[in-house]
Amino acid sequence: MYKTFLLSAVLFSISTYTAVINSQEGVRLGIPVSEEDLSQFDLIAGPDGSGFPPGSGTARQGKEVFDVNCAVCHGANGEGTSGNTIIVGGDMQSEGPPLRTVGSYWPHASTLFDFIRRAMPAIAPKSLTNEQVYQVTAYVLYMNNIITEDVELNATNLAGIEMPNADGFIDRSDIQ
C-alpha cells in the first residue's frame, strides 16, 4: 500500500511539473521584466570605452555637485572625513603602508566613473544624472592632478585618460 501511494505521488508530481513546463504561462511567479527595467541594471562602463552613457562634464561643473553630494564623506578637498573615504593624494611607493586613492591606485578613469554612477553618493546610490557623474568624475580627476579644470569628459574621451597607476596591474582580461 505504501509503495502504491509513493508511486502515485511521484507520478502526480511529474505530471504536474510537465504540465506547468509545457504551459504558455509557466509557473506565474514574479512579474515579467521589461527591457526598460532591465536597462537600469546594465550600468557597467568598461576601460575599453564601452557602456558610457551620453553626457559630459568639467571639473568646474563637478565642484558644485561634489560639494553638495560628496564632501560630507570625502571632505571638501577629498581628504576624507572618516574611515576609508580619502580620494586625493596617496603614494604607492612610500616606505609605509600605501595610501590607495583614485590618483595613486586606480588603473582606469572608467572605474571611477563606473563606481560613482552605480554606488555614489553612498546615501542615495544611482541618484546622480549622467551629466553629474561626468562632472564629479572630472572634479575628482582634477583634484588628483590628472586632468585640468577645463577638460570636458564625455563618452568619447573618458577611457583615454591616462591614470598614474595604469601600469601597476597585470592585465589578465583574457582569462574567462
For 96, residues 6+ apart whose C-beta sits below 8 A from its C-beta are: none
pLDDT value, residue 25: 63
Convert 41-70 to b/e letters by CB count within 10 Å (16 or more is b): eeeebebeeebbeeebbbbebbbebbeebb
Distance, CA of 74 to CA of 17 (rounded, Å): 54
The segment with the largest mean pLDDT, out of 1-10, 30-39, 126-135, is 126-135
Is pLDDT at 38 greater than 80 in this prediction? no
Q: What grid cell was written down for 117?
A: 554612477
Q: What is the mean pLDDT of the chain?
A: 86
Render pLDDT for 43-92 as a digit per residue (tens, 0 to 9).
678 888 888 999 999 999 999 999 999 999 999 999 998 877 899 988 77
Distance, CA of 141 to CA of 135 (rounded, Å): 10
Is pLDDT at 138 greater than 70 in this prediction? yes
Query: Structural domain boundaries of the chain?
Result: 34-160
Is pLDDT at 137 greater than 80 in this prediction? yes
- DSSP-derived pairing of the beta strands 153-154 and 56-57: antiparallel
For 112, residues 6+ apart whose C-beta sits below 8 A from its C-beta are: 102, 106, 137, 140, 141
Average pLDDT over residues 96-108: 87
| CATH number 3.30.360.10 given to 34-160 | no
In this prediction the pTM is: 0.75
